[in-house]
């Protein structure tokens, strides 16, 4: 990288490249645990303690209540430390480099949040008495309060264990609300064409017919199409704002009025909330119910697929339908003057959506992140995220058909195949954008750098985009070259599913 900030960076493979760890043994990558060892333990009751083909173990139970044997790897601690350390080296995370995966808001995860989630005082059982877990209840109460303020919502449940679970709660709450008002006939949920796949699936899981809404030429909700879609059968409209193109739905006030006029509810998908912190709140825009994606907006680690948490906020009239229990503060403090927190069941609760109270460890990290940043930090997170997206967009050669965008933009790979572009970007030591979605942009490269990247990193990221933009189809199709594995055959995986090491044995 050059020191003077000029565009003279050298992106040739000799000067800027990335080689991921790659272990090869006997011609194959890192062996499976089962290839390192398999030990069979046979289980027999005390009176017949045998063991013909493995280590025998006396069982306290009669044979008819037990299995015959268990066969798994039996490895020493040093061997396991090495196994999993090697596996970790074959993974690219945010701490490895930029991760501009559009719609996923892959921010840096502050390390201290792991420390507070690991506090011994946090390790309590959900069936403890309320009086003995006042700390847990206080944290949950304060987080409900934080999230209510941030979203402009009157009441919050922390129970949904992920964003999609939050959507499902929103749908169930809407259903219970309509039912309560004698309007159980409402059987349609409207979802924009470009929405997250979970919106459609959550509405369908809730038993609704999904009405798909096309966008207008500018990439926003088409008001005429919305008018046509709305009816007395509309239960809700699910909307992301800014939408998946990063565009703010400028007509949001009118959209809210239209939905409310037919008696429907307006649902806010919180996936893109990182664009708006401190500048606009779903509650003020007329949304009745929303979920928060805490691993996106509030930087809890995604852990390679989860756990997340998907708290749901609602306006006053929907609060009685939220899942049980929620946490409230008792009007009377304790004898020592401390506030006392207790669980309560909302009056018309839909019941439970998780066996206990959700992903507690993730909620602690969420609370800690918000408490650390405060008003200024949260507002700056959005400002820097929007600035970063706009700056990066300015630096890349691909066409970006829709704007003005906020925290993310969708570029088009044009004549190139977006999936191939992504594979080739891996060779430049960056994570590629989300590809081929939303479909409104041909060969979409949905890009969200978040606020955590510096100008230098964005320049390096842009250089990767631009280097790939200049490469030919053969190079792209041959990519990636420098990752642990080379291009993986998806078709073969699906045509001949081998989903366990046992299946591999059967295969050979």
Partner 1 sequence: MRGIERRDRSRPPLVMHGSYTTGSPYAPHTAEDRTAMLEAVDAETVEELFDIPAAVRFDGQFDIDARTERETRRLVRSVLGRNDDRTELLGRGHYGYYIPSLVDHLADRSEFLTSYTQYQPEISQGFLQALFEYQSLLVELTGLEIANCSIYDAATALGEAATLADRVRDTSGHRVLVPERMREERKSTLENYVAGTDLVVETYPVDDGNVDLAGLEAAVDEDVVMVYAESPTVRGTIEEQLGAIGDLAADVNAFFALGSDPIALSLLERPADVGADVVVGDASVLGLPTSYGMGLGLFATKEDYLRQVPGRLVGVSEDATDRRAFTLTLQTREQHIRRERATSNICTNQAWVALRTAIHAAVLGPSGMVDLAKRAVTRAEALAERVDDIVGVQAPVHDRRHFREFVAHVDQPASAVAEDLERLGFAVHVVGDHEIQLCVAGVPDEELDRFVEALEEVAR
Looking only at residues 80 through 109 of this chain, which bind partner 1 when binding is defined by CB under 8 A? 80-81, 83-96, 99, 101, 104, 106-109
The packing angle between helices 418-426 and 455-469, to 10°, is 120
Q: Which of 44, 136, 235, 315 binds partner 1 (CB under 8 A)?
A: 136
- Least CB distance to partner 1 at residue 189 (A): 9
Per the listing, tokens 């405060």 go with 374
Q: Which of 1, 17, 19, 112 binds partner 1 (CB under 8 A)?
A: 112
Q: Which stretch binds partner 1 (CB under 8 A): 8-16, 223-231, 261-269, 388-396?
A: 388-396
Q: Which of 44, 192, 206, 311 binds partner 1 (CB under 8 A)?
A: 206
Cα–Cα distances in Å, from 165 out to 255, 325, 395?
25, 16, 37
Q: Among residues 286, 171, 179, which one has the least CA distance to residue 236?
A: 171
Q: Which of 391, 412, 466, 475 binds partner 1 (CB under 8 A)?
A: 391
Q: Which is nearer to partner 1, 262 or 371 (CB)?
A: 371
Each residue 394-433 as x (binds partner 1 by CB under 8 A) or -, in order, gives xx--------x-x---------------xx--x----xx-
Q: Which of 157, 168, 235, 443 binds partner 1 (CB under 8 A)?
A: 168
Tell me the C-alpha distance between 94 and 118, whole Å: 21
Q: Which is nearer to partner 1, 231 or 380 (CB)?
A: 380
Q: Which stretch binds partner 1 (CB under 8 A): 6-14, 231-239, 257-265, 390-398?
A: 390-398
Tell me the C-alpha distance between 70 and 54, whole Å: 10
Cα–Cα distances in Å, from 145 out to 152, 182, 197, 375?
10, 31, 29, 14
Residues 209-268 that bind partner 1 (CB under 8 A): 210, 247-248, 250, 252-253
Q: Torsion over CA of 146, 148, 150 and 153, rounded to 10 degrees?
A: 180
**Which backbone phi and psi does 266 adopt, to 5 degrees?**
-110, 120
Q: Which of 194, 198, 244, 447 binds partner 1 (CB under 8 A)?
A: 198
Q: Which of 3, 47, 67, 470 binds partner 1 (CB under 8 A)?
A: 67
Please answer whether residues 441 and 400 qualify as being in contact, where contact means their C-beta atoms are separated by less than 8 angstroms.
no
The packing angle between helices 197-205 and 163-180, to 10°, is 40
Q: Concatenate the DSSP letters of all residues of 336-397 into one string.
A: TS---EEEE--TT----SSSSSS-HHHHHHHHHHHHHHHHHHHHHHHHHHHHHHHHHHHH--
Residues 26-65 that bind partner 1 (CB under 8 A): 27-30, 32-34, 39-41, 43, 55, 57-61, 64-65
- Least CB distance to partner 1 at residue 79 (A): 9
Q: Which is nearer to partner 1, 11 or 457 (CB)?
A: 457
- Least CB distance to partner 1 at residue 167 (A): 7
Cα–Cα distances in Å, from 204 out to 187, 190, 228, 321, 359?
10, 11, 21, 20, 24
Residues 471-490 that bind partner 1 (CB under 8 A): 478, 480, 483-490
Please answer whether residues 449 and 392 qualify as being in contact, where contact means their C-beta atoms are separated by less than 8 angstroms.
yes
Q: Which of 11, 154, 379, 469 binds partner 1 (CB under 8 A)?
A: 379
């Amino acid at each position: 990288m050059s020191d003077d900030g000029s565009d003279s960076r050298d992106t040739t493979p000799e000067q800027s490249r990335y080689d991921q760890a790659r272990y090869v043994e006997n011609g194959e990558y890192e062996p499976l645990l089962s290839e390192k060892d398999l030990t069979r333990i046979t289980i027999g009751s005390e009176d017949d303690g045998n063991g013909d083909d493995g280590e025998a173990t006396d069982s306290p139970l009669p044979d008819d209540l037990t299995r015959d044997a268990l066969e798994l790897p039996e490895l020493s601690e040093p061997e396991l430390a090495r196994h999993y350390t090697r596996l970790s080296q074959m993974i690219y995370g945010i701490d490895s480099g930029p991760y501009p995966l559009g719609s996923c808001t892959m921010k840096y995860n502050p390390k201290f949040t792991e420390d507070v989630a690991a506090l011994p005082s946090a390790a309590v059982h959900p069936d403890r008495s309320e009086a003995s877990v006042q700390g847990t209840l206080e944290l949950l109460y304060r987080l409900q309060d934080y999230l209510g303020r941030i979203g402009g919502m009157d009441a919050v449940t922390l129970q949904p264990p992920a964003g999609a679970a939050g959507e499902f709660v929103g749908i169930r709450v809407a259903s219970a609300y309509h039912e309560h008002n004698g309007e159980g006939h409402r059987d349609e949920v409207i979802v924009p064409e470009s929405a997250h796949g979970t919106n459609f699936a959550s509405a369908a899981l809730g038993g609704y017919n999904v009405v798909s809404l096309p966008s207008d030429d500018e990439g926003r909700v088409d008001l005429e199409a919305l008018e046509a879609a709305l009816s007395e059968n509309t239960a809700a409209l699910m909307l992301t704002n800014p939408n998946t193109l990063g565009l703010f739905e400028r007509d949001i006030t009118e959209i809210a009025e239209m939905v409310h006029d037919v008696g429907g509810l307006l649902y806010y998908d919180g996936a893109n909330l990182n664009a708006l912190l401190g500048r606009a709140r779903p509650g003020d825009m007329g949304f009745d119910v929303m979920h928060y994606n805490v691993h996106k907006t509030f930087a809890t680690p995604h852990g390679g697929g989860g756990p997340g948490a998907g708290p749901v906020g609602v306006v006053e009239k929907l609060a009685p339908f939220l899942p049980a229990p929620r946490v409230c503060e008792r009007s009377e403090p304790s004898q020592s003057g401390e506030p006392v927190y207790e669980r309560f069941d909302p009056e018309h609760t839909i019941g439970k959506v998780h066996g206990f109270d959700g992903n507690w460890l993730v909620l602690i990290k969420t609370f800690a992140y918000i408490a650390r940043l405060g008003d200024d930090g949260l507002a700056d997170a959005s400002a820097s995220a929007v600035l970063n997206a706009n700056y990066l967009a300015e630096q890349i050669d691909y066409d970006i058909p829709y704007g003005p965008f906020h925290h993310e933009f969708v570029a088009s790979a044009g004549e190139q195949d977006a999936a191939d572009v992504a594979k080739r970007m891996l060779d430049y030591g960056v994570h590629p954008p989300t590809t081929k979605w939303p479909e409104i942009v041909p060969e979409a490269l949905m890009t969200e750098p978040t606020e955590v990247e510096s100008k230098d990193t964005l320049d390096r990221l842009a250089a990767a985009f631009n280097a790939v933009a200049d490469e030919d189809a053969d190079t792209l199709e041959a990519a990636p070259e420098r990752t642990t594995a080379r291009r993986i055959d998806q078709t073969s995986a699906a045509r001949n599913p081998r989903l366990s090491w046992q299946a591999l044995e059967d295969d050979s």
